[in-house]
Amino acid sequence: MGDMDQEVDAELRTSHLIETEDLAKRIASGDSTLRIVDMRGAVKTTQIAEGVQTADYCGSRSEYDLGHIPGAIYLDWTRDIVDLTDSVAAQAAPADKVKSVFEAAGIGDHNLIVAYDAHPASQFATRLWWLMKYYGNKNVRVLNGGWKKWIAEQRPVSTETPTYPAARFTPRRAPEWRVISKEVAGMIGSPDTAIVDARDPDQYTGRIRRGSRGGHIPGALNIPRELLFSEDGTYKPPAELAHTFVEHGIPVDKHVVAYCNGGVAATSVLFALSMLGYRRLSNYDGSWNEWAELEEMPVEG
């Protein structure tokens, strides 16, 4: 990799991630443009039969109340940024709801948004990043290492719930960031498209299933999002990430469609790809929660 490539990598990385030290400096400086968003939550699974599990999607407001990064506001990934009227769980909230929620929270067009969570693959923070991209806002970062790293470094913690002035947020939908089941079905077998399954191998093979059917979308490549992270919960260096994707047969010019169970873990993969300069990226938001229940859609396993 030449010097120019290294500079491009660094620029891409800093336009996606913010390090704990840099965030601490911004907080200490009293940066009024900063809006830190605590996205902590969980997916709690229950085994109901051999190889069959259910999942409950949960916010973690109580954890936020016990302590959070100073100045952070809390958004519940299961309620605040989803369409509660959709029959498929955890689908992206419509533009009017996003506008209303963000403006009430004081998140506007000119704020720098920093999202964090406590998930080992930052999937709730990257879910907010993806939603912001879908609605045309590029001024968002994910805290590298999240809450775990912040606490490990013994950085300041607050129990105060801040209030910010109402802001103006303007959704400008970028439809290419979100695809639906019929579009995905049409991409199966396309040499121009790589479909990536971000779930663990047991779900990919169908050894463990959620919903009516197990397995995966035909032709999908299994890249569990955990492969992209170091042991401390930070994203791996660019060269290692690039090697992972190239090794799986995904060159930078491919259109990549990622999915998981609910379109959340998939965003960890899309985030990493975007950091590497991939530009044709889409989230199948319905993911396996929807696909498994659509009898007309093919399954491999």
pLDDT digits (tens, 9 = 90+) for 10-56: 789 999 999 999 999 999 999 999 999 999 999 999 999 999 999 99
pLDDT at 11: 86
Structure tokens at 63: 């954890």
pLDDT at 7: 45
Residue 4: strand, helix, or coil: helix
Q: Which whole-number Å values give the CA distances from 245 to 2, 134, 251, in the listed order?
A: 20, 23, 7
Q: Mean pLDDT across the stretch 225-248?
A: 96
Q: Which whole-number Å values give the CA distances from 20 to 39, 148, 151, in the listed order?
A: 16, 11, 10
- pLDDT tier, 71 (very low <50, low <70, confident <90, very high otherwise): very high
Q: Do 288 and 261 touch, CB atoms closer than 8 A? A: yes
Which residue spans of the chain are classified as CATH 3.40.250.10? 3-174, 176-291
Report the sign of the C-alpha dihedral through residues 262, 264, 268, 269, in that order: positive
pTM over 0.75: yes
pLDDT digits (tens, 9 = 90+) for 119-167: 999 999 999 999 999 999 999 999 999 999 999 999 999 999 999 999 9
Q: Do 57 and 287 touch, CB atoms closer than 8 A? A: no
Q: Is 4 a residue whose pLDDT tops 90?
A: no
Candidate list 18, 131, 260, 266, residue with the active-site label: 260
Structure tokens at 25: 């400096």
Q: For this structure, is 260 an active site residue?
A: yes
Instruction: Determine how many CB atoms are found less than 10 A away from the CB of residue 192.
Output: 9
pLDDT at 149: 98
Structure tokens at 141: 């970062």
pLDDT at 10: 79
pLDDT at 94: 98
Mean pLDDT for the chain? Answer: 95
Q: Mean pLDDT across the stretch 86-113?
A: 97
pLDDT digits (tens, 9 = 90+) for 274-287: 999 999 999 999 99
Q: Is 300 a residue whose pLDDT tops 70?
A: yes
- The CATH code of the domain at 3-174 is 3.40.250.10
Which of 2-11, 80-89, 214-223 shows the lowest per-residue confidence on average (mean pLDDT)? 2-11
Longest CA span, the chain: 56
pLDDT at 1: 40
Taking the C-alpha atoms of residue 88 and residue 168, their distance in angstroms, rounded to an integer, is 29
Structure tokens at 140: 């968002």
- The DSSP symbol for 229 reads B
- The DSSP symbol for 30 reads T
Taking the C-alpha atoms of residue 23 and residue 156, their distance in angstroms, rounded to an integer, is 11
Taking the C-alpha atoms of residue 287 and residue 147, their distance in angstroms, rounded to an integer, is 27
Beta strand 255-259 pairing with 281-284 = parallel
Taking the C-alpha atoms of residue 291 and residue 82, their distance in angstroms, rounded to an integer, is 18
Q: Is 271 a residue whose pLDDT tops 50?
A: yes
Q: Do 160 and 66 touch, CB atoms closer than 8 A? A: no
Q: Is 107 a residue whose pLDDT tops 60?
A: yes
Which residue is listed with tokens 């299933």?
A: 209
Residue 58: strand, helix, or coil: strand
Q: Is 77 a residue whose pLDDT tops 90?
A: yes
Q: Which whole-number Å values give the CA distances from 140 to 37, 121, 164, 249, 287, in the listed order?
A: 10, 17, 18, 29, 24
pLDDT digits (tens, 9 = 90+) for 165-212: 999 999 999 999 999 999 999 999 999 999 999 999 999 999 999 999
Taking the C-alpha atoms of residue 240 and residue 242, their distance in angstroms, rounded to an integer, is 5
Instruction: Determine how many CB atoms are found less than 10 A away from the CB of residue 215.
Output: 20
Q: What is the DSSP string of 61-116?
A: HHHHHH-BSTT-EE--TTTTTB-TT-SSTTPBPPHHHHHHHHHHHT--TT-EEEEE
Domain at 176-291: CATH architecture: 3-Layer(aba) Sandwich (3.40)
Q: Give the percent of the chain with pLDDT over 90.
A: 96
